[in-house]
Amino acid sequence: MRSRRDFIRTTGFIGIGFMGLKLYACGNGAPSAVESAKALDYGPLVPDPEGVFDLPEGFSYKIISKQGDMMDDGLLVPGKQDGMAAFPGEDGKVIIVRNHEIVATDKDLGAFGPDNTNLGAIPKEDFFEYGSGQFPGLGGTSTLVFNEKTQEVEKEFLSLAGTYRNCAGGPMPWGSWLTCEEDVTKAGEFDGNVEKSHGYVFEVPATTEIMRAAPKPIKEMGRFNHEAVAYDSVSGILYLTEDRHDGLLYRFIPNEKNNLHSGGKLQALAIKNGPKFDTRNWPDSVGPDIQPNVPMKVEWIDLDNVDSAEDDLRIRGHEKGAALFARGEGMWYDEGEIYFACTSGGDLMKGQVFKLTPNPNDIEGGVLELFIEPNDVNIMKYCDNLTIAPWGDVMLCEDDTDAYLRGVTPEGQIFTFAHSVKYQSELTGVCFSPSGKTMFVNIQHAGLTLAITGPWKGQS
């Protein structure tokens, strides 16, 4: 498969770039969002005869998994599907590891049936949080084995049990999914029924074998309201977002490359010569607004007491000079660049996307840029989970009851790819199969996982 840079170079496509994007965002007689989408890439959306999910002409979707269906391990498909990634399996199969953003009180959405009536179906030691049997963790992950040729799920099972509110995460190149708890419940809460503190990252192997991962938190990666993880394949450093309105951007340097349980150092991003910088561009933000495509040099601040019992890591990090971000969400690494969404960033608090470029020759450096900030809900709003298509487009899920799936070209031009019509739900978990032929996405509150196929760019 060609790299995204090869694709851009050989197609000769030239977008409107950041100056054009600014015109779209601010008006000035520019074409409407619908007109711009029509002129871009895949064309306008075609109404779905079923009224569920509109896509461009030539594309189709298939519902491959539904909340409440029986899985191959005898448990039920959990609800609130969130971040996920697809891994290569044997014989061309695709292994999808999928999060579930469920809390302990979501007893009607868990894998164990209404009111956890089937809680005893798996051993107690398979849970990270058993919750005295009263407040067990119902989040975790499920795994699907998908046949891309037949577009059928051949196997589905619970692959991590006992965690709270697994939101996003990130794929590791050795075949694991890192799943993150967006939850900082402390041991002793819920009348003493919560047995362990939460707010951690867990590793889940991508496997076709029906099994559950060891529920071992990577505590050195910090205890906070985790969202997503991106792995830099050059340095072996991992980058992490935090879903807080005053969140930080973190990175974890493991003691042993690719051995995340070996311990390591957690740091937070700071703008060089700009301590406590505010990237949010809110009307009341302290300091100057940042503009798209303006590189800012960064440095990294060491953090201590990263497993604090209090939800104060971001507060202490900011006091030491770390930059603020507005609800860091989806994050993805691609060819030396890391893209991440800030759901409530921007002048209208409707979303930003940043690009971080680590310095391969100096791990203490790097460059941060504001990639896009449309400030126009007709173009993009509340960007959340994201991925990078094999041809270089950033694909973004919207966290809104009227949710769209947007694309952004490498030049910064936004287009609309899909619209969730029937269900008032955010979209989550967008990712591509290793072949690039199938896109997967969740309609979260409907409890649906979709497989999308069609005439993708770069596909013969």
* pLDDT one-digit tens code per residue, 99-118: 999 999 999 999 999 999 99
**Tokens encoding 434:** 């290793």
**Backbone torsions φ then ψ of 228, nearest 5 degrees:** -125, 165
Q: How many CB atoms lie within 10 A of CB 308?
A: 18
Burial status of residue 415 (CB atoms within 10 A of its CB: 0-12, 13-18, 19 or more): buried
376-388 pLDDT, tens digit per residue, is 999 999 999 999 9
The domain ranges of the chain are: 1-64+376-460
Spatial CB neighbours of 288, under 8 Å, sequence gap ≥ 6: none
β-bridge mates for residue 393, sequence order = none
How high is the pLDDT of residue 178?
98
Rounded CA-CA distance 64/450 in Å is 6
Q: Does residue 4 surpass a pLDDT of 60?
A: no
How high is the pLDDT of residue 183?
97
**Tokens encoding 29:** 């007689």
Choose between 422 and 36: higher pLDDT. Answer: 422
Q: Does residue 262 surpass a pLDDT of 70?
A: yes
Q: What is the mean pLDDT of residues 410-424?
A: 94
How high is the pLDDT of residue 5?
32
Least confident segment among 245-254, 284-293, 382-391: 284-293
State the chain's mean pLDDT as an integer. Answer: 91
Q: What is the mean pLDDT of residues 421-431?
A: 97
CA atoms within 13 A on the CB side of 231: 18
How high is the pLDDT of residue 40?
60
β-bridge mates for residue 84, sequence order = 98
Q: Does residue 410 surpass a pLDDT of 90?
A: no
Q: What's the whole-model pTM score?
A: 0.91
How high is the pLDDT of residue 285?
87
Rounded CA-CA distance 445/350 in Å is 21
Rounded CA-CA distance 239/140 in Å is 21
Residue pair 241/247 in contact (Cβ under 8 Å)? The answer is: yes
Q: What is the mean pLDDT of residues 354-367?
A: 94
Q: Does residue 27 surpass a pLDDT of 70?
A: no
How high is the pLDDT of residue 6?
34
Q: Does residue 30 surpass a pLDDT of 90?
A: no
Q: Does residue 269 surpass a pLDDT of 60?
A: yes
Spatial CB neighbours of 214, under 8 Å, sequence gap ≥ 6: none
R_g (Cα) of the chain, nearest Å:
21
197-221 pLDDT, tens digit per residue, is 999 999 999 999 999 999 999 999 9
62-92 pLDDT, tens digit per residue, is 999 999 999 999 999 999 999 999 999 999 8
122-156 pLDDT, tens digit per residue, is 999 999 999 999 999 999 999 999 999 999 999 99
How high is the pLDDT of residue 412?
87
* Strand-by-strand arrangement of the 448-453 sheet: 60-66, 448-453, 439-443, 427-432
* Strand-by-strand arrangement of the 259-271 sheet: 226-231, 238-242, 250-256, 259-271, 296-302, 367-372, 352-357, 337-342, 328-334
